[in-house]
Amino acid sequence: VQLQASGGGLVQGGSSLRLSCAASARPGSTYSMGWFRQAPGKEREFVAAIDWNGSVTDYATSVKGRFTISRDNARNMLYLQMSMVKPEDTAVYLCAADRSLRWIVEADPDAFSYWGQGTLVTVSS
């Protein structure tokens, strides 16, 4: 699975932003997808994940109620709708994919095998 994230930028605190991730995979393959973020000097952290059908989602506590993950399998796209953003949301956001549902047990980077490059989100106060 090849992944390409986009949509980052500089936004003001309290505003909204939508990130996108274009995926390319073998026809007929199914995979979960997720978003992670990494701030300067910090470890990569889980943000949100979604299964193939979109019926199962999970969010980090820090973004629950503010961010929404979704996907459009017909367009091979993953989205992260970010609302009420805060300066602490500033990070490089990366999309990831995996053919398993390991992330349901533990949503950490090791649960995902495929990674795209990141897109930088900067939130001003």
Q: Take residue 122 and report the two structure tokens written for it.
A: 């900067």
CA separation for the pair 97, 42 (Å, rounded): 22
Q: State the pLDDT at residue 91.
A: 98
Residue where the block lists tokens 């605190």: 13
Q: State the pLDDT at residue 26.
A: 85
**Parts of the chain with a pLDDT under 70:** none
